[in-house]
């Protein structure tokens, strides 16, 4: 083994040791999982765990979770992308391991990709092994990634950044077809991981690096050609995810981007700069003493922390001062950090208008750009460590101890970052965290297939605990799971009307807004039954809410255990809407509505009964007789396929209280039929008299087109790789002759 490989081996070994120090508690002495509830609804609990558990089940059944029927009247989970259905580490771990072990392994792999990729990147800039290792540890195990442990998709997407930038710079320095293909494969995997804003940040960084090398006259026509080839392959390989995601985005309010207020929400406050030196200077949400927690003001702790250790920060400053004039890349890193700082401060920055322009306006939370700031801060940290090593080696008195001093700094850095990790994170047994709360036993039979539930007030109850004590004790959270905020129901195989997602379709948003409006009106009135009527139309049979928030009496009350009643947590009530209509039904009358106001007027009309009448957006120009005998027998209720045996002695309208969304097809006795948009966000099909088999199938055209494009890209890449292999093989064979 050569000296260079020796150094790589020891650095990688050190990375494995540090990774074990941080994540061994997930596996030993027994399996545990991360338990952060966060503020309000948790990205981990209400999105990460639930969607990934459903993905694992789908993968075992040979599917990619294109559609999730458990939340929001049905939702295109694959198109949202954050579930990471095509990301190789997810596919492999979910196929081979239990859910808890798979999630934990995904964390470990992400941090290994981060740290080893950063090591390779820094070494490519002529940094010695030990300084490169220090920069790698500062970046990968710094506070940014620790506070984002609850955002699995973001960590996985960001874990690809160092190796992508290394490959991109290699393509610039030594352009070639194979390197171009490798870059496209890495970029597509990053895209599959699902956090598009991180992908966008990676693209911006690549652009900045390209400008840097162009200024050094290191980019030629050949470089540009291979870069274009790589980007073409990347778009081709990503099409399977890109096209469904674009379809979803264009059906939401984000299709045209955020307005300036939305885009600037969650900007990085200048006062938070102190946390680069003292991460707990203003408290920590883990213990409930963070002083600046204001969701509306955008001061979210985990979006504003970029701590890389005191030693890491001091080395970065030393590296910039020492090398700023002598090393062009150090100066470039400092300039890019300054620009990124002005971008991430958002509304507090003179560059705030930048976020009103596409593609920046597609994303909110300018503070998320702190990721790029931290990346180049870690680069400067590595350069600072190398400068310190040179400085110590130049002095005869410290020459022999230079390596020892840097090793001591590395150990202090690791202990500093580990202490932050220890204070911030909390783990618990998966059986305890994932076990169904008592409320699920009382609604399970009805909410698997036929009815839904809705919950109110859970976020407010949890925030009352969180803002006082954080998540150091999980007892209150275990109790408050009874509120079943979406999408936590995915863990328990229940159907919720609500959905936890910023990407919701305009149709569902209207349905949700109308429900909220009617709920408020219902609280003011003692005679109006419109709210109950609307719940019935949406097949909502159960309402879960803190006691006292609804006018009716609950059928079941869940009280906090005596051990933590001192928190004065409200009892949780389970309420039943006895007039709830089943998720699938036949009606024999319709009313045409073309506006949101028409829907509201229809619901407030005492003569309107959703049991008999459906609201349609288009007049089918069909006459219906009074109903006679009818029956519906469900024979298949899966995420992407539903089938019903239906009998009616007269023509009727089959109503399915699931989301109206492109890609859904319906057949009646094997013949294609037309799906009509109904009740704002439901599906309706006109059914002739007699016995029929009605089948709904989710066959997304955007997914099919994207799949065809991506498969073509993979076939071309495979052909190119095989051709290159055989050409090299023949060349070697001929030379031996």
Contacts of 724 (CB under 8 A, 6+ apart): 177, 178
Whole-number pLDDT of residue 463: 83
Q: Please tell me whether residues 541 and 456 are part of one structural domain.
A: yes
Convert the pLDDT of each residue in 3-59 to its tens digit.
567 788 999 999 999 999 999 999 999 999 998 888 777 888 888 999 999 999 999
Residues 526 and 658 placed together within one structural domain of the fold = no
Nearest to 387 by CA among 438, 294, 322: 322
Helices (H) and strands (E) in the chain, counts: 25, 17
Q: For residue 716, give the 3-state DSSP assignment.
A: helix
What predicted TM-score, i.e. pTM, was given to this entire model?
0.94
Residue 719 maps to a domain: no
- Distance of alpha carbon 238 from alpha carbon 375, whole angstroms: 25
What are the CA-CA distances from residue 461 to residues 492, 557, 576 (Å)? Answer: 21, 16, 21
End residue of a domain, out of 525, 553, 576: 576
**Is 62 a member of any domain?**
no
Quote the pLDDT of residue 737: 58
Please give the residue range of the domain that contains residue 593. 584-701
CA atoms within 13 A on the CB side of 86: 26
Last residue of a domain, one of 531, 555, 576: 576
Q: Please check whether residue 604 lies inside any domain of the structure.
A: yes
- The CA distance from 87 to 193, in Å, is 5
Taking alpha carbons only, the member of 159, 158, 172, 163 closest to residue 209 is 172
Is the domain of 490 the same as that of 598?
no
Residues 571, 592: one domain?
no
Do 447 and 548 have their domain in common? yes
pLDDT at 526: 42
Looking up tokens 């936590």 gives: 488
How far apart (Å, rounded) are the C-alpha atoms in residues 722 and 729?
Answer: 10
Kind plus residue range of the DSSP H or E element containing 632: strand 630-637
Query: 451 — phi, psi (to 5°)?
Result: -130, 165
What does the DSSP 8-state code read for residue 681? T
Rg from Cα positions in the chain: 28
> Are both 457 and 474 inside the same structural domain?
yes
Please indicate, yes or no, if residue 216 is contained in any of the structural domains: no
Q: Please count the structural domains in the chain.
A: 2
Do 541 and 482 belong together in one domain? Answer: yes
Instruction: Determine the Cα–Cα distance for residues 426 and 435; give it in Å rounded to an integer.
Output: 18
Share above pLDDT 70 across residues of the chain, in percent, rounded to a whole number = 95
Q: In 10 A of CB 624, how many CB atoms?
A: 15
Q: Which helix (H) or strand (E) element contains residue 417?
A: helix 402-424
Are residues 454 and 519 located together in one domain of the fold? Answer: yes
Residue identified by tokens 């196929």 is 95
d(CA 243, CA 237): 11
Share in percent of the chain as helix, strand, coil (round to 5): 55, 10, 30
Q: Is 283 within a domain?
A: no
User: Which of 404, 384, 402 minimizes the C-alpha distance to 393?
Assistant: 402
DSSP string covering 218-237: ---HHHHHHHHHHHHHHHHH
Nearest to 531 by CA among 582, 523, 457, 678: 523
User: DSSP 3-state assignment of 192?
Assistant: helix
- Single out the residue of 79, 152, 145, 153 nearest to residue 114, CA to CA: 145
Contact indicator for 518, 672 with CB cutoff of 8 Å: no
For tokens 């050409």, name the residue: 727
Residue 472 is assigned to a structural domain of this protein = yes
Residues 547 and 618 placed together within one structural domain of the fold: no
Whether 551 is covered by a domain: the verdict is: yes
Task: Specify whether 493 is located in the same domain as 522.
Answer: yes
* DSSP SS3 for 351: coil
- How far apart are the C-alpha atoms of 582 and 590, rounded to whole Å? 18
pLDDT tens-digit profile of 352-406? 999 999 999 999 899 999 999 999 999 999 999 999 999 998 887 877 888 999 9
Last residue of one domain, picked from the residues 576, 592, 607: 576
d(CA 123, CA 126): 5
CA separation (Å) from 37 to 148, 279, 312, 356?
A: 12, 20, 29, 32
- In DSSP terms, 673 is beta-bridged to 666
- CA 89 to each of CA 204, 212, 706, 734: distance values in angstroms, whole numbers, following the listed order: 25, 33, 21, 40
Which pLDDT value is given to residue 553? 81
Q: Tokens at residue 54, please?
A: 């459903």
208, burial (CB in 10 Å: exposed 0-12, middle 13-18, buried 19+) = middle
Q: What does the alpha-carbon distance between residue 52 and residue 54 come to, in Å, rounded to a whole number?
A: 5
Distances (CA, A) of 563 to 35, 88, 475, 479, 568: 20, 44, 9, 11, 11
Do 596 and 506 contact (CB within 8 A), yes or no? no
Q: What angle do CA 707, 711, 716 make, to 5 degrees?
A: 150
Residues in the chain where the model's pLDDT stays below 50: 525-527
Q: How far apart, in Å, are the Cα atoms of 91 and each of 87, 100, 637, 711, 712?
A: 6, 14, 25, 18, 21
Measured CA to CA, the distance from residue 379 to residue 413 in angstroms comes to: 15
608 and 562 inside one domain = no
Residue 443 lies in a domain: yes
Strands 664-668 and 652-656 turn out to be unpaired
Tell whether 647 and 526 lie within a shared domain: no
User: What integer pLDDT is reported at residue 567 of this predicted model?
Assistant: 62
How far apart CA 694 and CA 669 sit, in angstroms, is: 6
d(CA 333, CA 341): 12
């Amino acid at each position: 083994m050569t000296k260079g490989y020796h150094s790589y081996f020891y650095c990688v070994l050190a990375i494995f040791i540090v990774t074990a120090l941080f994540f061994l508690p997930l596996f030993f002495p027994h399996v545990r999982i991360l338990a952060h509830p966060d503020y309000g609804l948790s990205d981990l609990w209400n999105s990460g765990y639930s969607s990934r558990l459903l993905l694992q089940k789908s993968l075992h059944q040979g599917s990619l979770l294109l559609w999730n029927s458990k939340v929001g009247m049905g939702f295109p989970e694959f198109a949202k992308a954050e579930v990471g259905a095509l990301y190789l580490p997810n596919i492999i771990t979910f196929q081979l391991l239990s859910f808890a072990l798979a999630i934990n392994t995904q964390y470990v792999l992400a941090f290994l990709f981060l740290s080893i990729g950063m090591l390779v990147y820094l070494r490519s800039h002529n940094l010695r092994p030990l300084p490169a290792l220090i920069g790698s540890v500062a970046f990968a195990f710094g506070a940014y990634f620790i506070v984002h442990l609850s955002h699995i998709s973001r960590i996985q997407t960001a874990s690809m950044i160092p190796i992508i930038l290394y490959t991109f710079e290699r393509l610039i320095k030594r352009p070639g077809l194979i390197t171009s293909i490798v870059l496209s494969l890495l970029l597509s995997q990053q895209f599959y991981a699902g956090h598009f804003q991180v992908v966008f940040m990676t693209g911006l960084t690549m652009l900045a690096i390209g400008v840097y090398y162009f200024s050094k006259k290191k980019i030629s026509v050949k470089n540009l050609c291979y870069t274009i080839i790589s980007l073409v392959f990347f778009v081709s390989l990503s099409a399977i995810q890109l096209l469904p995601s674009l379809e979803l985005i264009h059906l939401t309010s984000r299709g045209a981007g955020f307005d300036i207020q939305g885009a600037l929400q969650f900007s990085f406050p200048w006062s938070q700069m102190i946390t680069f030196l003292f991460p707990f200077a203003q408290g920590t949400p883990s213990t409930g003493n963070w002083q600046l927690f204001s969701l509306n003001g955008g001061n979210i702790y985990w979006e504003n922390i970029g701590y890389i250790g005191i030693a890491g920060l001091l080395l970065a400053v030393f590296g910039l001062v020492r090398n700023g004039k002598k090393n062009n890349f150090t100066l470039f890193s400092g300039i890019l950090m300054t620009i990124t700082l002005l971008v991430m401060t958002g509304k507090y920055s003179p560059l705030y208008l930048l976020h009103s322009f596409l593609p920046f306006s597609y994303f909110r939370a300018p503070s998320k750009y702190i990721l790029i700031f931290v990346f180049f801060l870690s680069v400067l940290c590595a350069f600072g460590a190398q400068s310190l090593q040179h400085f110590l080696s130049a002095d005869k008195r410290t020459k022999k101890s230079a390596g020892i001093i840097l090793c001591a700094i590395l150990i202090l850095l690791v202990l500093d970052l580990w202490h932050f990790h220890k204070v911030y994170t909390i783990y618990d047994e998966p059986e305890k965290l994932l076990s169904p709360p008592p409320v699920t036993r009382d609604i399970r039979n009805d909410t698997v297939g036929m009815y839904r539930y809705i919950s109110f007030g859970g976020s407010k109850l949890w925030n009352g605990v969180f803002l006082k004590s954080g998540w150091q004790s999980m007892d209150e959270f275990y109790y408050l799971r009874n509120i079943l905020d979406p999408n936590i129901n995915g863990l328990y195989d229940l159907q919720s009307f609500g959905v936890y997602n910023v990407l919701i379709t305009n149709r569902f948003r209207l349905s949700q807004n109308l429900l909220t409006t009617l709920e408020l009106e219902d609280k003011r009135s003692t005679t109006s039954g419109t709210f109950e009527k609307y719940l019935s139309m949406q097949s909502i049979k159960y309402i879960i809410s803190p006691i006292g928030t609804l006018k009716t009496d609950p059928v079941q009350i869940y009280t906090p255990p005596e051990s933590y009643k001192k928190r004065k947590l409200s009892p949780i009530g389970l309420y039943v809407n006895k007039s709830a209509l089943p998720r699938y039904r036949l009606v024999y009358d319709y009313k045409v509505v073309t506006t949101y106001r028409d829907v509201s007027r229809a619901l407030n009309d005492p003569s309107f009964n959703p049991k008999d009448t459906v609201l349609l957006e288009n007049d089918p120009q069909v006459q219906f007789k009074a109903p006679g005998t009818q029956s519906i027998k469900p024979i298949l209720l899966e995420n992407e396929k539903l089938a019903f045996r239906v009998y009616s002695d007269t023509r009727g309208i089959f109503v399915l209280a699931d989301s109206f969304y492109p890609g859904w097809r319906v057949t009646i006795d094997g013949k294609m039929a037309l799906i009509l948009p109904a009740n704002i966000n439901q599906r309706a099909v006109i059914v002739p008299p007699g016995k029929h088999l009605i089948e709904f199938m989710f066959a997304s055209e955007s997914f099919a087109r994207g799949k065809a494009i991506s498969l073509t890209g993979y076939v071309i890449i495979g052909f190119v790789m095989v051709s290159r292999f055989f050409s090299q093989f023949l060349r070697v064979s001929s030379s031996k002759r």
